[in-house]
Amino acid sequence: MASAKDALLEKIRAHRARIGIIGLGYVGLPLVLRFGDEGFPVIGFDVDASKVTKLNRGESYIRHIAADRVQALVNKKQFEATSDFERLSEADCIIICVPTPLTVKKDPDLQYIESTGDAIMKTLRAGQIISLESTTYPGTTDEILLEKFRPRGLEVGKDYFLVFSPEREDPGNPKFSTRTIPKVVGGTTPDCLEVGEALYSQVIDKIVTVSSTRAAELVKLLENIYRSVNIALVNELKLLAEKMNIDIWEVIAAASTKPFGFTAFQPGPGLGGHCIPIDPFYLSWKAKEYDFSTRFIHLAGEINSAMPHYIVERVGATLNEVSKSIRGARILILGVAYKKDVDDVRESPALEIMELLQERGAILCYSDPYIPRLHKVRAHDFSHMTSEPLTEETLNNQDLVLITTDHTNINYQWLVENSPKIVDTRNATKGVKIGMEKVVRA
């Protein structure tokens, strides 16, 4: 009789293994499509009933994921979505793609991993592999999931298999896809790693194995801390360059011509997205357990968190130049997505800026071609607001336009010509030839 490992490997390599993906958002849904495209049967799990309904109708709720790809899998009966977590027993391979936010005190909030682990534990059986992809601190896979699964009486690495493989999705990036982004995998045991590598190698071009789940967990944190620290550096230099009357974007462009030893990072109004503003705090929190202070992480966090306040100060100074104050000023926020050309507002610095401007009495509206309506995001509730059409009439009714996201489908020359005053936090107007006297780059 074949061992649980050999039987599962045979199913995986024959593409007969049923894939269960928990969390059908920006990470989970691309994985659904990738496994589905390779002929695997896929069950998607999500607590959001509206997502489940839309997916089972063949619809997509993420802009860069075409609905016809979802529809094709539904039509072939290769994919179905459900909110019934008892059906986890049907999956041979379970991939966890749930959020890992922060608490109000900036401590890790693992409630979604905890609840998902509880759901898996209830149906865990021999011959399954569980892969955690959610970004978290080193030790989560072993300290939380492995411990939750012990009461089932199954032996990890023999009866079932447990790995960590950090997600590396970059929504809206045309250069890389789920298939072409190398996949890091770490296993709880060597046999766990072998099964995890086999699973992901069916759908990803390159697999990078590491010695443990803890190493794999730290890989993801290093990637995002690297970005956080370097973004903080250029944000701080931007503040200094302004005082020195130097164009920081010109400096970065010139420095980028060096063919070695330099990687360009761009300043902005703050950090956005689910990763960079959050992930570093997972490591700094865990470091306390080892009586270690992550000073670079804390400093970068302070600098990046202060950027929205700096932007509001620049808005106030710009309005003062035309004898206006923020109180009562009509301000159009151009772009509320956390980065250009995506429909994602998670941790967007635009929301923090809007909150600060509103507290100071500004009359706000926003325009974003990818976000037709705002919804409540953590402490920011602008759910009463819908995107304004970007027309001459809209612009004429404003005292100032604040560019917080540099979407590429905006005609910035036209925007400058028809706006009274602009504060540009993204260097979006760099190609504008006429009317730059109206623009303040912040």
Helices (H), 147-275: 147-149, 190-201, 213-243, 248-255
Q: Is 275 a catalytic residue?
A: yes
The strand pair at 161-164 and 183-187 is best described as antiparallel
Among 97, 192, 275, 365, the one annotated catalytic = 275
Please give the Cα distance from 349 to 84 (Å, whole number).
Answer: 35
* DSSP class of 39: T
Please give the Cα distance from 431 to 22 (Å, whole number).
Answer: 43
Direct distance between the N- and C-terminal alpha carbons of the chain, in angstroms, rounded to an integer: 68
Please give the Cα distance from 337 to 274 (Å, whole number).
Answer: 12
CA-closest candidate to residue 94, choices 153, 134, 62 = 134
Q: Which residues of 195-224 are buried (b: 16+ CB within 10 A; e: fewer)?
A: bbbbbbebbbeebebbebbbebbbbbbebb
Q: Within a 10 A sphere around the Cβ of 138, how many other Cβ atoms? A: 23
Q: Which residues are tagged catalytic? A: 275
